[in-house]
A and B are shown apart, each in its own frame.
Chain A
């Protein structure tokens, strides 16, 4: 069995790695492209959310203000939230209360029903009544891209799916480094207009010049979910994950539900006590097992961004734990207090490095550019695979080879341009879906997936060369007309954003316009009569005829 030739692990280390890079990279590249493109967009989830929800205020500059008074009556807000929960969700296992702030002046409610499903709602902070969302644009916003990025909207299974492909990314990066013979000699090399040579140059340059970022982002992504991906150590040495985290972070362990009814202590008392302790406004209150004798309450301090202060560690807002029945404080972690030793510090730094929120706008832009470089690296790799084989089949799959090649071509078009079209279509869905329909955010996501599916079907029905051009033109149209659509539906557009100094919303439209121009250029490159590659083909044909 060990003597059978399969292409893998043959001909020395470098050749074995070349095989692994080609085939491992090929089967992983489409999913990874989705992860990279949506992750890059997810860097700007807040600006995207603001563009999609025109009723939200413009982003304000960080002031580092830790004062309690910001015009919101938080004790009243927790009382209102509790009244709503007691009336509507008394049997829930978990209640969460997002407190009002300048960013969102309503009270956001989250709960987990006895069947373990999560739900949410919003109530008005001044009346305590449910927010009438029929007149405002209810939207999934930029969260959509973040959720596509880490779970494909697929819950825990989705997180595992993304994790598996991130491992493939690490393996592809390592094998890629091994097979790149002249990393330093070819460091700056890009020779355009030379067919396959240019695609390889572009693939190499993109990978090598952003390699630190690609390694970092893949590894820190895995480290963020380490307890999910690598539960073996915790399972072997602890009774439960909760016990492990309680030990690691020196905090009270979660209690099992007892089934003995017990009324909760007053929320406003705990809130005021916590704000006093943390010396800052609270942002969130969570209640485990409400109205059970095991009830516990946690109050989280607001995350406060101080202007000109950038850190990778110790940026938490602090939290205070209470016994939910007696209302007594059981633990307090002050803002910036570190627990869990050097290992936890490393994990926190890794997670912060991944989330790109540590260095202001410039760091977000650097992550956006590097993430797109990663997406482009995957795209050029996928294209290179087919460019290499379009002229001369390598017959890897025997008689099925042409069909497999066709599938790869369709997946290339359906992912590279198809997904990008779907991302822009998501913005169109936000502006075109009627206001006030039930589950509007879910409909936006449905538009995204429907358009993506249509793009894949289109790629499957058309000849490859035509499919590329048509999808690039569709992408260009959707991108370039987006500001116009915004003006027609909401009455706002790029210039009014710029006039008001709303850089976030203007940025969304500028990136769309840039993408539109690039795809137009791509379509033009593909349709103009070509000379050099044709000459290359003739040379190849002549060489074949000679041999």
Chain B
């Protein structure tokens, strides 16, 4: 089998970061905003969900505009974990 060129591997990594990492960060943003928006919880989640598609778009655009791949993965990972953790703690679900 032909090995994948470093070029393709970098592109694959970036695409995965944008799509999967971006989706993870978007989910984290909904969990976080659902806990902190000053609305009844169900409405806060709805408001956060409606905003989430703009968040996801912005994250994808950012991932395809930032040259440094390692940085993209690092930011996505830390931000997703931090927002999810904070959302669960503040929402009283953890």
Contacts and interface: CB of A to CB of B under 8 A. Distances in A.
B68 A347 contact: no
Pick from B7, B26, B49 the residue with the most CB of A within 10 Å: B49
A248 B47 CA distance: 12
Interface string A206-239: 0000000000000100110011011011101110
A247 B69 contact: no
A8 B41 contact: no
How many chain B residues sit at the interface, stated as a range, is 35 or more
B68 A2 contact: yes
Given A226-B49, A236-B34, A1 B13 contact: yes
Identify whether the interface residues of B are mostly helix, strand, loop, or mixed. Answer: helix
A332 interface: no
20 contacts: A1-B10, A6-B7, A6-B14, A10-B67, A16-B65, A167-B56, A167-B60, A170-B53, A170-B57, A175-B61, A175-B64, A219-B54, A232-B31, A233-B34, A236-B31, A236-B87, A236-B93, A237-B93, A343-B43, A343-B44
Given A9-B14, A230-B27, A232-B27, A248 B46 contact: yes
A491 interface: no
A244 B42 contact: yes
B50 interface: yes
Contacts of B42: 238, 244, 247-248, 340
A1 B57 CA distance: 25
A223 B50 contact: yes
Interface in B24-76: 26-28, 30-31, 33-35, 39-50, 52-54, 56-57, 60-61, 64-71
Given A167-B53, A340-B46, A8 B60 contact: no
A6 B70 CA distance: 15
Interface of A: 1-2, 4-10, 13, 16-17, 19-20, 24, 167, 170-171, 174-175, 219, 222-223, 226-227, 229-230, 232-234, 236-238, 244, 247-248, 340-344, 346-347, 350
A344 B8 CA distance: 44
Contact of A2 (B27, B39, B71): B71
Contacts of B33: 233
A2 B70 contact: yes
Nearest to B7: A6
For the complex of A and B, the 3 pairs showing the least CB-CB separation, nearest first, are A232-B27, A248-B42, A233-B30
A6 B8 contact: yes
B88 interface: yes
Given A9-B67, A167-B57, A237-B93, 8 more contacts: A5-B7, A8-B10, A174-B57, A232-B28, A232-B30, A233-B27, A233-B33, A340-B46
B16 interface: no
A171 B7 CA distance: 23
A340 B47 CA distance: 11
